[in-house]
Chain A
C-alpha cells in the first residue's frame, strides 16, 4: 500500500488554547484509519483540519492529489460524513444526493436519478429518496450521509463518529457497510471514533490522542495496542477501565484509648 495522507508537525488550536501539539502521522491508501481517544481530546477537531475547514497553527497536511484549500470552490476529491449527518434539512434525501451531481457533472436529470437511487440502495435506503431528513432515524441519517459523501465516487472518505448514538444492531450494520465499501471499492476511510467494537471490527490502523499531553500517545493496529501497549492510558482505553483503581481500600480503624 502507498501513502495517501501525510501529516507533519501539526499543531491545532485557537487563540491561546492548544489541543494537539506537533502531531505527525500517515494514512495508507486503501486502509481504514481511525483517530481515537477520550472525549474532548480533539478527534473531531483534527478531522476538521484534515478536511480543510480550519487552518492549523503550524504544520502541514498533504493529501495526495487533493487540496482542501479551495474548499467550496472546486469539485471535492473526498467525501465527508459529519457526526450529525448534516443533511440539508430543506431538501429530500434524494435531492441531498443529487445536489453534487448536478453541481459538478454534466449528467442529465435521468442519469442523476439513477445514480441517486443506486447509492441509496447501496446503503439500504431505497425507500427514503423522497423523505426529508427529519423523517429519518439517527442510523438512517448517517447512512444517507455516507451515500451523499460517496456520490461523486471519491477515493477517500472522512467519517466523524459514524456509530455514535446508534443501537448495537445499527452500529454493526454501519460498520459492515463501511468495511464492504472499503474492500469492494478500495476506498480509504479516515474515521473518528471511540466505539471499541467498531474500531476492532473495521480499523486497519489507528492513532490515539491524549487530552492531557496534547499529543499522539499510540499508533498501530488496534488489537496490537490492546494486547501489548505498555502505556497505561492506552491499555486502560482498550480494556475499558480507569487509569486509577476505582475504589481505594478502607483506612484502618483507629483504636480508642
Chain B
C-alpha cells in the first residue's frame, strides 16, 4: 500500500490533480512522472489545480517538484494553484514559494565572442599593468633602502637565506650531480666512437658552468622557494595580514619582498657554484668508471677547458635568475584573491611564470654572450 496516491480528477469544472496521504522524497520519482504526464495535456488558458486537502504530510523535495510543475503551467499560459492545504502543508508550500505569483524565467544571455575576447584582452593588459607597477614599486623601495638602510627588514634576510639556501643544498647537489652524470654518459657514447674520451671533461665542464648548473639550480630553487614565497605571501594576502601591515604603515614591499629578494640574490650564486662543482664530479665518476680516464687526467682536462669567465658568466646569470624568481613569486603572491583556491592558482601561476622567465633570461644571456664573443 503506497503512502501517497495521486489521480487526475476531471469531474470538476476544471481538472484537479488529487494528492492523498503522506508524500515523501522516496516517492518523488513516481510523483514527477505522474505529474508530468498529467500536465502534458493541459493547454493554454486551461486550469489544473493541485488538490492537497487530503495530503497529510509533504517533504521539501517533493514540494519543490510540485511548485516547479505549477510554475511550468503558469509559464505556458495555463493556471494552477494548491488548494485545500492543511496548516502544515501550507507552511511547506509557502516555504517553497508555491503561493506566490510566478515570474518570467530570466534568460541568460550568452556572452558574445567579441565580448569574451575583449574581456580576456583587458585582463591581460591589467595583469601587465600590475606586473610593471609591481616592478616599479620594487625599484622605488630598493632605492629608498639604499638611502635609508635602517628601514629594511634585515632580520628576515638570514632566516630566508637559510630556508632558501642551506636547506636546498642536498637537493641541489643531488640534481646537479645526476645532470653531470647523465651528460657524461650521453657524451661518452658519441665521443668513444672517435677515441675522444677525454673530451667528455670539456663537454661536461663547459655545459655545466655556462648553462646547466645555473639553470638547473634556478629551476630547483623556483620549485622550492618560488612556490613557497607565492603561497606564503598569498596566504597572508587572503587572511588580511598584508592589509594589516599597510595600515600599520609598513609597506609589504620593504617588509616582505625586498628581504626575500635580497636573500635569494645572495644565496643562488652560492648554490650555483656548488651545483657546478658536483656536476663536474658527476662527469668525473662516469669518465673514471666507464671511459678508463684517470681522476688527475679528467680534472686537468676540465681546468684546461673551463675559463674563469665561464664560471663567472654562470654566476651573473644566477643573480638575474634570483631576481626573476623572487620578484615574480612575490608579485603573484601579492596579487592573490579568492581564498585558498586563489592561493593555489597563484602558486601554480608563479611557478609557470618563473620557469618561462628563467628560460627567457637564459636565452637572452646566451645570445648576448655570443654576440659580445664572451
Taking a contact as CB atoms under 8 Å apart, the answer to whether B243 and A99 are in contact is no
Bound CA–CA A83/B238 (angstroms): 12
The verdict on B91 contacting chain A, using a C-beta distance below 8 Å, is yes
Taking a contact as CB atoms under 8 Å apart, the answer to whether B83 and A253 are in contact is yes
Q: Looking across the interface, which residue of chain B has its beta carbon closest to that of A53? A: B243
The verdict on A247 contacting chain B, using a C-beta distance below 8 Å, is yes
Taking a contact as CB atoms under 8 Å apart, the answer to whether A100 and B248 are in contact is yes
In the complex, per-residue mask of B231-263: 1 if CB is within 8 Å of any chain A CB, else 0: 000011001110111111111110000000000
Taking a contact as CB atoms under 8 Å apart, the answer to whether B244 and A80 are in contact is yes
The verdict on A3 contacting chain B, using a C-beta distance below 8 Å, is no
Taking a contact as CB atoms under 8 Å apart, the answer to whether A99 and B240 are in contact is no
Q: Looking across the interface, which residue of chain A has its beta carbon closest to that of B247? A: A80
Taking a contact as CB atoms under 8 Å apart, the answer to whether B99 and A251 are in contact is yes
Taking a contact as CB atoms under 8 Å apart, the answer to whether A254 and B251 are in contact is no
Taking a contact as CB atoms under 8 Å apart, the answer to whether B82 and A103 are in contact is no
In the complex, per-residue mask of B53-84: 1 if CB is within 8 Å of any chain A CB, else 0: 10000000000000000000000000001111
Q: Which residues of chain B come closer than 8 Å to A79, judged between CB atoms?
A: 247
Taking a contact as CB atoms under 8 Å apart, the answer to whether B51 and A254 are in contact is yes
Taking a contact as CB atoms under 8 Å apart, the answer to whether A86 and B241 are in contact is yes
Taking a contact as CB atoms under 8 Å apart, the answer to whether A256 and B246 are in contact is no
Q: Which residues of chain B come closer than 8 Å to A33, judged between CB atoms?
A: none
Question: Residues on A close to B: CB < 8 A?
Answer: 48, 51-53, 71-76, 78-80, 82-84, 86-89, 99-100, 103-104, 145, 148, 246-254, 256-257
Query: Apart from A72-B251, A86-B240, A254-B83, what 20 extra A-B contacts exist at CB < 8 Å?
Result: A71-B249, A72-B252, A72-B253, A75-B249, A83-B240, A87-B241, A88-B236, A89-B241, A100-B250, A248-B90, A248-B94, A250-B85, A250-B87, A251-B81, A251-B84, A251-B99, A253-B83, A254-B12, A254-B16, A256-B11
Q: Which residues of chain B come closer than 8 Å to A80, judged between CB atoms?
A: 243-244, 247
Number of A-B contacts (CB under 8 A): 95
Q: Which residues of chain B come closer than 8 Å to A247, judged between CB atoms?
A: 90-91, 94
Bound CA–CA A29/B193 (angstroms): 89
Q: Which residues of chain A come closer than 8 Å to B243, judged between CB atoms?
A: 48, 53, 80, 82, 86
Taking a contact as CB atoms under 8 Å apart, the answer to whether B241 and A76 are in contact is no
Taking a contact as CB atoms under 8 Å apart, the answer to whether B249 and A248 are in contact is no
Bound CA–CA A80/B250 (angstroms): 13
The verdict on B49 contacting chain A, using a C-beta distance below 8 Å, is yes
Bound CA–CA A53/B249 (angstroms): 12
Taking a contact as CB atoms under 8 Å apart, the answer to whether A82 and B240 are in contact is yes
Which of A73, A78, A246 has the most CB atoms of chain B within a 10 A radius of its CB? A73
Output the least CB separation between A257 and chain B (Å): 6
The verdict on B116 contacting chain A, using a C-beta distance below 8 Å, is no
Output the least CB separation between A73 and chain B (Å): 6
Chain B 306-346 interface residues, beta-carbon cutoff 8 Å to A: none
What are 24 contact pairs spanning A and B, CB under 8 A? A51-B247, A73-B249, A73-B251, A75-B249, A78-B247, A82-B244, A84-B240, A86-B241, A88-B241, A88-B245, A89-B236, A99-B248, A247-B91, A248-B94, A250-B86, A251-B81, A251-B82, A251-B85, A252-B83, A254-B51, A254-B83, A254-B84, A256-B11, A257-B12
Q: Looking across the interface, which residue of chain B has its beta carbon closest to that of A103? A: B250
Output the least CB separation between A33 and chain B (Å): 18
Bound CA–CA A148/B247 (angstroms): 11
Known: A53-B243, A251-B81. A100 touches B249 (CB 8 A): yes
In the complex, per-residue mask of B8-33: 1 if CB is within 8 Å of any chain A CB, else 0: 00011100100000000000000000
Q: Looking across the interface, which residue of chain A has its beta carbon closest to that of B159? A: A90
Q: Which residues of chain A come closer than 8 Å to B87, judged between CB atoms?
A: 250
Bound CA–CA A93/B241 (angstroms): 14
Output the least CB separation between B293 and chain A (Å): 50
Output the least CB separation between B242 and chain A (Å): 9
Output the least CB separation between A244 and chain B (Å): 10
Taking a contact as CB atoms under 8 Å apart, the answer to whether A53 and B84 are in contact is no
Bound CA–CA A83/B248 (angstroms): 16
Bound CA–CA A216/B49 (angstroms): 44
Bound CA–CA A253/B94 (angstroms): 16
Which of B13, B87, B94, B249 has the most CB atoms of chain A within a 10 A radius of its CB? B249
Q: Looking across the interface, which residue of chain B has its beta carbon closest to that of A158? A: B247
Taking a contact as CB atoms under 8 Å apart, the answer to whether B247 and A256 are in contact is no
Known: A84-B240, A86-B241. A254 touches B249 (CB 8 A): no
Q: Which residues of chain B come closer than 8 Å to A86, judged between CB atoms?
A: 239-241, 243-244
Contact of A253 among B53, B236, B250 (CB under 8 A): B53
Known: A100-B250, A254-B51. A84 touches B239 (CB 8 A): yes
**3 closest A-B pairs by CB:** A72-B251, A253-B84, A86-B244
Taking a contact as CB atoms under 8 Å apart, the answer to whether A103 and B249 are in contact is yes
Q: Looking across the interface, which residue of chain A has its beta carbon closest to that of B251? A: A72
Taking a contact as CB atoms under 8 Å apart, the answer to whether B249 and A250 are in contact is no
Output the least CB separation between A74 and chain B (Å): 6
Bound CA–CA A73/B247 (angstroms): 10
Bound CA–CA A100/B13 (angstroms): 81
Q: Which residues of chain A come closer than 8 Å to B85, judged between CB atoms?
A: 250-251
